[in-house]
Structure 1
Amino acid sequence: MHKAKMSYHLYFAWVVSVIATLGSLYFSEIKGFIPCELCWYQRIFMYPLAILLGIASFYNDKSLKKYILPLSIMGGTISLYHYLVQKVPGFAAIKPCVQGVPCNVQYINWFGFVTIPFLALTAFTLISLLLVLMKKSE
């Protein structure tokens, strides 16, 4: 009986999710950026990925892909929508009585296009691609 080969795709997806989770905590807890409603939804999808991908990569359990991939795709969809709200004029609905931070606020705007939702979208996309590229064990 041979030992299953470790899936580096799972490991790198876990690393991406941990970096994204720590990055979001850095922006809110250290930099003091208050998350908007859409940021919270993205966190709801990212934080479990850090735990689930960590467990999956530790046990080299590729069967979790069917549970993790939908979370990543849904989180990425929210990130894309949030990015469009920030960058496309008139994309967001006008909400005159909004509580908290409006979702079109750009705390960072590196190089004129890198915002926090863009970073989240990049992380969700990388995780999704790594999971899609992961081959099933023989």
Structure 2
Amino acid sequence: MMKKAESHQLYLYLAWIVSIVATLGSLYFSEIQGFIPCELCWYQRILMYPLVLFLGISTFQNDITIKKYVLPMAVIGWFISLFHYFEQKIPGFAKIKPCAGEVPCNGEYINWLGFITIPFLALAAFSFIIILMFFLPSAKNKRTNKS
């Protein structure tokens, strides 16, 4: 059976792996496939890319206090991804906030199985990270457990 500290490190490690896969996936789509990111894609990248560094360091330090920094970034990224996905999949939703960039935010470079698009992949990654962060105890609980 796993000790609590080992399970906490496992959650950090899994969240770090998810952030790495999401970052490499976005770089693959833009740098190898040549897909130009839209404005909302950039916002999602701005929130995902630092998570690789934050979660990587905290994984090797076994520092669960990173939760207070990762969780807000992941939740904001989740909402941006959800909004972006709605722009792609709900007719008329794109008119709420027209994209200012060269690439329209309601465009779909990929559409696997009729529902998996790039914002959906980002939404899934942010969701996994959020769930894994909720498995970590808060720093307040960590101090209470030590005394």
Do both proteins adopt the same fold according to a TM-score greater than 0.5, normalized to the shorter chain?
yes
Root-mean-square deviation (Å): 1.8
- Corresponding residue of 1:86: 88
1:5 corresponds in structure 2 to 5
In proportion to residue count, which structure has more helix? 2
Q: Which residue of structure 2 aligns with residue 120 of structure 1?
A: 122
Change (3 A) 1:5 1:36: same
Q: Distance in 1 between matches of 2:38 and 2:102?
A: 7
Q: Which residue of 2 aligns with 1:100?
A: 102
Q: 1:61 to 1:92 in 2, by over 3 A?
A: same
In the TM superposition, 1:35-114 aligns within 5 A as: 35-93=37-95, 98-114=100-116
Structure 1 alignment gaps of length 5 or more = none
Aligned mates of 1:97, 1:14 — CA distance in 2? 31
1:24 corresponds in structure 2 to 26
CA displacement 1:99-124 (0-9 Å, x = unmatched): 41000010000000000000000000
| TM-score, length basis structure 1 | 0.92
Distance 1:130 1:95 in 2: 31
Q: Where has structure 1 moved over 2 Å in runs of 4 or more?
A: 94-99, 135-138
State the Cα distance separating 1:94 from its structure 2 match. 6.9
Q: 1:44 to 1:12 in 2, by over 3 A?
A: same
Q: 1:135 Cα deviation (Å)?
A: 3.0
Q: 2 CA distance for matches of 1:25 and 1:75?
A: 17
> What one-letter code is carried by the residue in structure 2 that aligns with 1:21?
T
CA distance in 2, matches of 1:95, 1:129: 29
Percent identical across equivalent pairs? 61
CA distance in 1, matches of 2:40, 2:99: 16
